[in-house]
Amino acid sequence: MPSRADITYFGAGPALLPTSVLEEASQALLNYKDTGLGIAEHSHRSQYAADIINQAKSDLTTYLDIPEDYEILFMQGGGTGEFSATVYNLVGAWVTRKKAEILKQLGAQSEEEANQEELVTALKKAVDTELKLDYLVTGGWSLKAYQEAGRLLGPEYTNLATDSRTVNEGKFGKIPDESTWKLSKNAAMVYYCDNETVDGVEFPKFPDTLIPDSNGEGPIVVADMSSNILSRRIPVKNFSAIFFGAQKNLGSTGVTVVIIKKSLLPPACPQPSPALMRKLGLPVPPIVFSYETVAKNNSLYNTLSIFDVYIAGQVLKKLLATFPDKVDGQQAVADQKADIIYKALEAHPNVYRIVPDKSVRSRMNICFRVTINNDTDGTEARFLKEATAVGLTGLKGHRSVGGIRASNYNSIPLAGAQKLADFINNFAQA
């Protein structure tokens, strides 16, 4: 029976958590702050819960250098839930902006002053002719996000601005040159997945095409960072919203984090009334997916899993204690670990084939195939069996693509990456 210390777990999520965080959490689960109750038993309306949320928000802000004009929300539903939530909320924000433009054209100071029939007619025309959501599809998760937008709104409102499969023989593994992207004018949002967990594709940097101008004006950019958040510095100010599930680099399954510009929330940008959205033929968000509602209630409109927020908070505290230079320190380690593993794979090109193009290789999800004597399936089965025998687990690729996937998240120690690299070398030479 292996102990925890014997295993290096490379699973894609739920991912490995620091042992010290789990040890502390186990005590908090039994008796939090000598209250006689575990943290999962305390009311989400208690001061304990509010303190845990506020501290986690503060530490995340410090670690990522999040500007003051952003709000942090803790939600539920995972990244998949955010595929819907971003559509609901950012289409609503687009309607609010468009309504302000039309009111100005009508010479009205407020919605109440305007001729309602005129206003709704003009808004409906704008929705039918101008509303678009742009998607950069570079892997399985961004494809799912694009498909969800089409399901909720209708394909006439979604724009496939780029599709990686068109430049890679029908498969994911590259990112098309930005000059080929077909972006809409004034899109309600431009969505992309910064790191494709299934396909091992990561954007090397923020896209130049989407960088705001010198006045801070630019596209409404939304990014899914579920599997690479906290692993490198990001230009938060370039994004309108960033979302990520906690279960990769931040904590345990159960909470999803949204970092959103306050300019997309009241009072700057109140959501349109449900009545108006229905008149325009647009969907109204479920209340638990309403950013406005979640922000107004400090993430506590409904019963949030405070234990999972606590776990995330402890991970952040450990990161801040480990890296005085914050995310830059973690990025240096993440890059080093990825380099060790990729170099081991590159050393044996007759055995290993790294799936994505070198220009977009993920540091977090390292996807490769293993072939000896023209046998891939049998060789990979042996690779997984022998890896498990030496304590390297969770390496099986996603069911949709197969192969091997080493998820090199922050909790994987440098020694763990080296152990995998040594195994890769030894297996090829056996």
CATH of the domain at 117: 3.40.640.10
Average pLDDT, the chain: 96
Long-range contacts (CB closer than 8 Å, 24 or more residues apart) made by 168-174? 168/357, 172/138, 172/139, 172/140, 172/196, 172/199, 172/201, 172/356, 173/199, 173/200, 173/201, 173/355, 173/356, 173/357, 173/360, 174/201, 174/356, 174/357, 174/359, 174/360
Domain boundary among 276, 308, 340: 308
Our measurement of the distance from residue 223's CA atom to the centroid of its chain's CA atoms, rounded to an integer in Å, reads: 6
CA gap 367, 414 in Å, rounded: 19
Reported residue count of the chain is 430
Q: What is the distance in angstroms between the CA of the first residue and the CA of the last residue of the chain?
A: 27
Q: Are residues 357 and 383 in the same domain?
A: yes
Residue 1, pLDDT score: 72
**Any bridge partners for residue 158, and if so which?**
133
Query: Does residue 189 sit in helix, strand or coil?
Result: strand
Is-contact 146 170, C-beta < 8 A? no
Report the half-sphere exposure of 349 (CA within 13 A, side-chain side). 1
Q: How many domains does the structure of the chain reveal?
A: 2
Question: Per residue in 383-401, pLDDT tens?
Answer: 999 999 999 999 999 998 9
Question: Per residue in 141-169, pLDDT tens?
Answer: 999 999 999 999 999 999 999 999 999 99
Question: Per residue in 350-377, pLDDT tens?
Answer: 999 999 999 999 999 999 999 999 999 9
Q: Are residues 112 and 230 in the same domain?
A: yes
Domain boundary among 256, 273, 308: 308
Residue 7 belongs to a domain: no
Phi-psi region of 403 (alpha: psi -120 to 50; beta: other; left: phi over 0): left
Under the banding of pLDDT at 50, 70 and 90, the label for residue 430 is confident
Q: Are residues 261 and 362 in the same domain?
A: no
Domain boundary among 258, 282, 308: 308
Q: Are residues 105 and 205 in the same domain?
A: yes
Question: Per residue in 114-137, pLDDT tens?
Answer: 888 999 999 999 999 999 999 999
Residue 112, pLDDT score: 80
Domain hosting 382: range is: 324-429
Can you tell me the mean pLDDT for 54-71? 98
Under the banding of pLDDT at 50, 70 and 90, the label for residue 334 is very high
Percent of the chain with pLDDT over 70: 100
The single-letter code of the amino acid at 379 is: T
Task: Using the predicted structure, report yes or no on whether residue 109 has a pLDDT greater than 90.
Answer: no
pTM, two decimal places: 0.97
